[in-house]
A = this chain, B = another copy of it.
Amino acid sequence: MSRFLRQTLRDVKGYVPGEQPERADIIKLNTNENPYPPSPKAREALAAVDPETLRRYPNPTARSFREAAAEVHGVGPDNIIATNGGDELLRLVFATFADAGDRIVSTDPTYSLYPVLASLEGLRFEALALDDHYGLDPQAFLRFACGAEPGSVPAKVALIVSPHAPSGKLFTAAQLTGIAEGFPGLLVVDEAYVDFVDPALGHSLLACVQSLPNVLLLRSLSKGYGLAGLRFGYGIGHPDLIAEMTGLTKDSYNTDVIAQALAEAALRDQHYAADTWQRVRSERDRMHAELTALGCAVYPSQTNFLLAELPPLADGSSRAAAAYAALKQAGILVRYFDTPRLAHALRITLGTPAQNTAVIAKLTPLLR
């Protein structure tokens, strides 16, 4: 540790992202990338980049991208902030809307980056346990967020990832709107996986954003649009929330000129993206059935991954830990979380049909 490290960070543990192997022959199902490449329109935008535009600073707010996002979602460009990945939006939320010592709440489990970002800002992070099936009781969460317990205080920011990671469960618009209406603080709904929700459910929080000034939606191009390598996300919310992050806390030029162009092209090609989402949903149904048939307890997922609980080994130890290692040995990378609640589970990103078949083939002997 250097003698320069600030006092408030001396006990903070940094975030550890999932493994990013550089070998191309790995079946990589550990960080929820889309198994399909980005839209051909994004590839055309890449080929059309004019080197002269590289020489100049980019538009500081990704104006053209925001106009596209506004059209796609039926909101105004001033409802949109473009960010260097969804992670930047999360950092900006804390940097803009929470003072040191403020209480921040989420669910347990949740996206493991939240408590890390909170600790970096000196915030107090508390989480309410979801039920055994990763269900959320909106009334209980609202009481928790409002600080109804003796000795508690209202949270400044509440974060809910929906569809939920790592379970894949979708919380309904009615549940989330109910929380937003009763909560005096800012509710961030992290919709990194929302593109994979079955459209038959008619799920949308856009009306909620339009009617409530305390709701901020996080969207990402990483999963739904096959662009994890590009680092592009955005927020949708009330113009005041957007303006404060845009004008105060984001880096002046936070997204680059190439990323802006590719993100816009990919987002505008809803037809292509929707086709990849449908393929993922189809594999989701198949993999859910096959993993269940192998004896796993698989949670219903509206995302591009499945959380599967594996029966423990005869001595009670985690079969999931052993299976993770065996899969890795075979060149298949999935995610294993070494926490009490998740010690018997694997989180498996849905790949191409061939990749998913390979997972089942490898898991079958391990589960017999």
Contact = CB atoms under 8 A, between A and B. Distances in A.
A283 interface: no
A107 to B, nearest CB: 21
B17 A58 contact: no
A58 B229 contact: yes
A241 interface: yes
A51 interface: yes
Given A4-B97, A4-B185, A251-B85, A38 B51 contact: yes
A240 B36 contact: no
Contacts of A241: 2, 4
Q: How many copies does the complex hold?
A: 2
A339 interface: no
A37 B54 contact: yes
Interface stretch (A256-264, A267-275, A286-294, A317-325): A256-264
Contacts of A230: 54, 256-258
A99 interface: yes
Contacts of A82: none
A2 B240 contact: yes
Interface string A203-228: 00000000001100000001000111
Contacts of A259: 256, 258-259
A2 B213 contact: yes
Contacts of A143: none
Nearest to A83: B251
A20 interface: yes
Contact of A120 (B18, B46, B87, B248): B248
B37 A55 contact: yes
Contact of A12 (B5, B33, B102, B248): B248
A156 B7 CA distance: 12
Contacts of A302: none
Given A2-B238, A38-B51, A17 B56 contact: no
Contacts of A252: 15, 17, 87, 113
Interface stretch (A88-96, A305-313, A340-348): A88-96
12 contacts: A2-B240, A4-B156, A15-B252, A53-B229, A54-B230, A57-B222, A57-B228, A84-B254, A84-B256, A85-B253, A88-B251, A230-B257
10 cross-chain pairs, A with B, having the tightest CB-CB distances, nearest first: A229-B257, A2-B240, A231-B256, A54-B229, A14-B247, A17-B252, A14-B248, A57-B228, A6-B99, A4-B97
